[in-house]
Structure 1
Amino acid sequence: MFSFFNGKRQTKKNMKKEQNSSDQPNSNTKYPGYIDNTLSTNIDIIRKRTGNSSDIVFRSLKIGRNPEIKTAVVYVKGMVDSQSVNDFLIEPMMNNPALQEKIIPQEVLTIITEEVVALGGVKPVNDWDELFGSLMSGNTIIFIDGVSEALIASTQGGERRSIQESTTYVSVRGPKEAFTESIETNIAMVRRIINNPDLWIESMKLGKMTKTDVSVMYINEIADKEIVKEVHKRLKRIDLDGILESGYIEQLIEDQTLTTFPTLYHTDRPDAVAGNLLEGRIAIFVNGTPFVLLGPAVFIQFFQSVEDYYERYDIATAVRFLRIFIFFISLIGPAVYIAITTFHQEMIPTQLAIIIAAQRESVPFPAFVEALIMEITFEILREAGVRMPKAVGSTISIVGALVIGQAAIQAGIVSPAMVIVVSITAIASFATPSYAVAISARLIRFLFMISAATFGFYGLILALIMLLVHLCSLRSFGVPYMSPIAPFIPGEAGDTFVRKPVWAYKERPRLIATENLIREGKDQRPQPPANRQIDNQNQNIKKGDQNET
């Protein structure tokens, strides 16, 4: 009895499924490999393959006379430049005299290509896979009844974000423009800086569903050919459904995954990409994101800014030392406080030790638990401030300052000294130029806190040694991550902790560029006029003044 009703219910479910499947077109409908010569058949294939989507526009036309030839223009709404489609494609096809005469279908393709369409990138196609790829990329397809080929017209356009100032890598001096989500715009911005035919670009599509445009850019006479081959090898090995951002590619082509440190540099500044290309690095552009990947990357590169090369070398060197000092503060600040207050009180001046002890008298937790509470609280507030809307973000900051500062101290949960240490550490993490390295420091900071709370300064020094060994073991496309410090290369150490003058950059990094190492001519050092010449000029000026009097 129950089996009868279950079978009846199952039959009804199957009937409903069959009805739904018959009503809706199947996206996996098989279609022939080549385009048919019947217009209606081709239109039906597009409708079935795209699920009869509402954003696919079909514009029917009739050209010629005796007989009239049916024509259709197909494009995706929102991905094409509508003005170009109307002014340079549809209107010329309707009004061109050559298409109003008695012609045969085979002549229509030639007339449209050579006399009618005033657009670049017009080419015939007879393969459905290529046609659908072009259609979904923003191109327009032209079908002619009786012809087993179609025309692809380049009409990519639509609404895109305009070029704006970089909000991630801000600089006081230097260009203000930043990359956008359009790969064509980003490539053109670098082309404007490096006006050289040796700037080569190789494009491909990654992602079985997204078909994302990816381009590899390098300077032919400078980049290492082996590294270029390795980049192509790793990119071609990618087999995913979709590539939505350059971070997908970064995680798939890096040398080592068990590390928190980034082994590929990313930026949204065209001048930074151009500078790295001139050193021999390779840039990877991904459509849909303003961030470009650069490799090979070295550790010291994440503490450099493009503004360092626009300012005087002495000022840039001082700022670089400050950034590295800031990084160490963000990395070991709470750990040093825990080690000193827990194990090494003799290192604190007596008067300061008495003040700290008096403050911690009412705190019920040890220094490690106190620092852990403060760090976790601050990380929660930081993440909330990033994810919350801008209108609420200021409120979160005010509430967080009250919670971390006055309320936590008055409640006796933390001491004022710990609030100062955690605040300085947080500010230091914000001052690190690279956001990826700052996140790594935030995570490793907890390991240093555990080491300091367990063994004091001995544990802290041991953790630093382990971190240094880990950094020396990393590679970026085979290049040592800590170069030119480890291995130490004296000739290239002038662009690490210090920044040499521009006239002293005679060669490119040897571990990155293997060809055309010379980057500037001889005697580029400034040569002011000699004192004798200045004295002669002053004497001539005095003689001129006497003659006037």
Structure 2
Amino acid sequence: MFKQKTTDSISSNSEEQQKIKISLDQNIKYINETLGNSDDLVSRIISVGQENRMEIGIFYIEGLVDTQHINDFILDPLMVRLENIDQQNDLPTVIQKSIVSVAKVQDAHHLDTALSSLFSGQVIILFDGFTKGFTVGLSGGKSRNVTEPSQESVIRGPKEGFTETIRTNTALIRRKINSPNLWVESMNIGTVTETKISLMYINGIVNKKVLKEVKTRLDKIEIDGILESNYIEELIQDKTFSPFPTINNTERPDVVSASLLEGRVAILVDGTPFVLVVPSLFIEFFHAAEDHYQRWDFSTFIRTLRIMSFFITLLAPSLFIAITTFHQEMIPTPLLISLAAQREGVPFPAFIEALMMEITFEILREGGIRMPKSVGQSISIVGTLVIGTAAVEAGFISAAMVIVVSITAIASFTIPAYNMSISIRMIRFIFMGLAASFGLFGITIAFIGLILHLCSLRSFGVPYMSPFGPFNVQDQKDSLFRFPLWGFKTRPRLISQQNRKRMESRYPKPPFDK
């Protein structure tokens, strides 16, 4: 279905497309008019043959191709080896098979199809007196090199990240999975941009139902342009109005490779270093890339800290508001006296205090992100310290509230997934409002509603809260805790429903253990 759509769309429109004319001048005129005589269009006309010299037109977009390769593999062979040619009856075939020494050469019978390949970094070669030409794949130009990911840094593990070039990204994944079963399917989405989208999955491991659903949703997209993978994410996600992400994104090839080995599908979009992975579960947004590059006990300890940070980020301000406003009897007497002394002279209730501090910190956080990197972090830290100290000294905010908001902010940074962190920060304000209105009862109701909402979500047919709901004992090996690698005998049950076996029950004992 996925590949067939592209082929069918081309064949159905073939009659409406402009065919290559026998006159090279007419073809040149059509190309120039279609592109509006763009300055970045380079056209070179050369003449070959002895007596009946024939003109050959070479067209490419400057900046999208490697000009040195054009000189070496197209211009030099054509101008040197065809200088004394006499046979011109089937010159395009002779050039395609014997002259142009490039691997990717495809026939072209329609100018519109040829122009589409022109924008993907290919070269068009047309002939005067022939109604066919061909395209040569010499894509190149300037692109960003493979560097360390800026958003998902690790202490131990690979230091390479995706780039904005889709074929570089697929190559990075193939370097890690050297298997012929790693399949790639591509299509173009966007009536104007015609952005290339590629699906990567491991045949024999992938969940076929998930793969079919991904293809179906992509086929239904009708939009003028795709500029980043978030366009695809919003258009194919299960729940539109849920704050929780049901599609994971990453800029690390090792994370995508690990997901493919579990039976997931990767969606790569040309022009962005962020790759989408489906299906994605709630607990996976708290897993970091290096969890499998450290010892299992270290990774389990760090994961426990992340889960604790999740509850601190979500509940700390609301619990402080509820207890200090409605349930003072739960506070030890010395601490209650200290809090009362701090709040003496503060004109605002606890909810307004927390709201002002939380909004101020979110503004500082966003400002630090948008500022230049050399000063952004310094301004965020200094601004927070100065504003917090000044607010306490001025009597607007109590010192205890500053401590609670600071701990909450620090805890939010431990969540590896940025989109999940934003979701929790948004929901935190709802918990604060209910805590100020109903105390612990409001927090309890909000927490129950949150659990019900999470349990209602699905990611491409897979329950969002699995392996907890529905509960699966075998899949607990890589959820809240990380079992030793010899315990990863099977793949997740709801993700991969075929070829679930990953390893033998246990590695044989080495000789020194006998």
TM-score, length basis structure 2: 0.95
Does the C-alpha gap of structure 1 residues 493 and 139 become closer, same or farther in structure 2, counting only changes over 3 Å?
Answer: same
Q: In the TM superposition, what is the alpha-carbon distance from 1:404 to its structure 2 partner?
A: 2.5
1:176–1:32 CA distance, 2 compared to 1 (3 A): closer
The separation in 2 between residues aligned to 1:310 and 1:512, in whole angstroms, is 22
CA separation of 1:382/1:123 partners in 2, compared to 1, >3 Å: closer, same or farther?
same
Larger radius of gyration: 1
What is the identity, as a one-letter code, of the residue corresponding to 1:385?
A: G
Instruction: Tell me the CA shift for residue 396 of structure 1.
Output: 2.6
Amino acid at match of 1:63: V
Contact between 1:65 and 1:103, CA under 8 Å: does it hold in 2?
Answer: no
Kindly state the Cα deviation for residue 390 of structure 1 after the two structures are TM-superposed: 2.4
- Stretches of structure 1 lacking an aligned partner (at least 5 in a row): 1-29, 534-549
> What's the offset of the Cα at 1:523?
2.6
Equivalent residue for 1:215, pick from 198, 209, 220: 198
Instruction: Report if the CA contact (8 A) 1:503-1:525 is conserved.
Output: no
Deviations 1:443-478 (Å, cap 9, x if unpaired)?
000000001101111111111110010000000001
- For the residues of structure 2 that align with 1:181 and 1:395, how far apart are their CA atoms? 30
Q: Tell me: CA distance 1:252–1:31, structure 2 relative to 1, closer, same or farther (3 Å).
A: closer
Q: Aligned runs of 1:410-489 on 2, under 5 Å?
A: 410-489=393-472
Q: Is the 8 A contact 1:140 1:152 kept in 2?
A: yes
Distance 1:236 1:31, change over 3 A: closer
Residues 45-104 of structure 1 deviation map (CA, whole Å, 9 limit, x = unaligned): 0010001100000111111121110111100000001111111111111111x4432232
Q: Does 1:393 align with 2:376?
A: yes
Mapped contact 1:99–1:108 kept (Cα < 8 A):
no
CA contact (8 A) 2:367 2:380 kept: no
Corresponding position: 1:313 with 2:296 = yes
Q: Does 1:90 align with 2:75?
A: yes
Whole-angstrom CA distance in 2 between matches of 1:32 and 1:258? 41
Quick one: distance in 2 between partners of 1:385 and 1:165? Answer: 21
Of residues 271, 275, 281 in structure 2, which corresponds to 1:298?
281
Pick from 239, 251, 255: which aligns with 2:234? Answer: 251
Q: By how many angstroms is 1:335 displaced?
A: 0.5
**Aligned match for 1:323, one of 296, 306, 309:** 306
TM-score w.r.t. structure 1 length? Answer: 0.89
Give distance in 2, aligned partners of 1:528 and 1:451.
Answer: 62
State the SS of the aligned residue for 1:472. Answer: helix
CA deviation map 1:467-497 (0-9, x unaligned): 0100000000010000010000111112111
User: Distance between the aligned counterparts of 2:64 and 2:258, measured in 1?
Assistant: 33
2:69 corresponds to 1:69: no
Q: For 2:378 and 2:418, locate their aligned partners in 1 and report how far apart those are by CA, in whole Å.
A: 24
User: Which one of the candidate residues 45, 56, 67 is aligned to 2:41?
Assistant: 56
Q: Equivalent residue of 2:337, what SS?
A: helix
Structure 2 partner of 1:501: 484
Corresponding residue pairs, total: 500
What does residue 267 of structure 1 align with? 250
Of residues 239, 242, 265, the one that matches 2:222 is 239
Q: What is the aligned-residue identity percentage?
A: 51
Q: In the alignment, what sits opposite 1:103?
A: 87
CA-to-aligned-CA distance 1:128-167 (integer Å, 9 cap, x gap):
2211110111100011101111110001010000000011
What letter corresponds to residue 179 of structure 2 in structure 1? N
Match of 1:37 among 3, 22, 37: 22
Task: State the one-letter code of the partner of 1:36.
Answer: K
User: SS at 2:227's partner residue?
Assistant: coil
Offset of residue 306 of structure 1 = 2.2
Say what the alpha-carbon RMSD is for the aligned residues. Answer: 1.5
Shift of 1:398: 5.0
Task: Tell me, in whole angstroms, the C-alpha distance in 2 between the residues paired with 1:332 and 1:290.
Answer: 34
CA distance in 2, matches of 1:479, 1:163: 33
Query: Is residue 266–residue 294 contact of structure 1 (8 Å, CA) maintained in 2?
Result: yes
Residue 224 of structure 1 is aligned with which of 203, 207, 210?
Answer: 207
Structure 2 equivalent of residue 537 of structure 1: none
What is the distance in 2 between the residues matched to 1:233 and 1:209? 21
State the 4+ residue runs in structure 1 displaced beyond 3 angstroms. 525-530
Question: Whole-Å Cα distance in 2 between the matches of residues 445 and 112 of structure 1?
Answer: 67
List gaps (5 residues or longer) in structure 2: 1-14
Q: Distance in 2 between matches of 1:177 and 1:398?
A: 29
Deviations for 1:345-370, whole angstroms, at most 9, x for unmatched residues?
Answer: 12222111111111111210000001
Match among 337, 341, 354 for residue 337 of structure 2: 354
| Counterpart residue type for residue 264 of structure 1 | I
What one-letter code is carried by the residue in structure 1 that aligns with 2:217?
R
**Other structure's SS at 1:493 match:** helix
Which residue number in structure 2 is paired with residue 519 of structure 1?
502
1:508 aligns to what SS in structure 2? coil
1:201-232 Cα distance to aligned partner (Å, 9 max, x none): 11100001111110011111111111111110
1:431 alignment partner, SS class: coil
- Separation in structure 2 between the aligned mates of residue 245 and residue 343 of structure 1, nearest angstrom: 47
Q: Is the Cα–Cα contact under 8 Å of residues 404 and 419 in structure 1 kept in the other structure?
A: no
Are positions 1:492 and 2:486 aligned together?
Answer: no
**Shift of residue 401 of structure 1?**
2.3
Distance 1:394 1:512, change over 3 A: closer
Letter in 2 for 1:101: I
Q: Which of 114, 124, 134 is 1:141 aligned to?
A: 124
The answer for the alignment partner of 1:11 in structure 2 is none
Once residues 189 and 505 of structure 2 are traced to their aligned partners in structure 1, the CA distance between those partners, rounded to angstroms, is 45
Q: In the aligned structure 2, how far is the partner of 1:394 from the partner of 1:435?
A: 17
Aligned to 1:378: 361
CA distance in 2, matches of 1:32, 1:260: 44
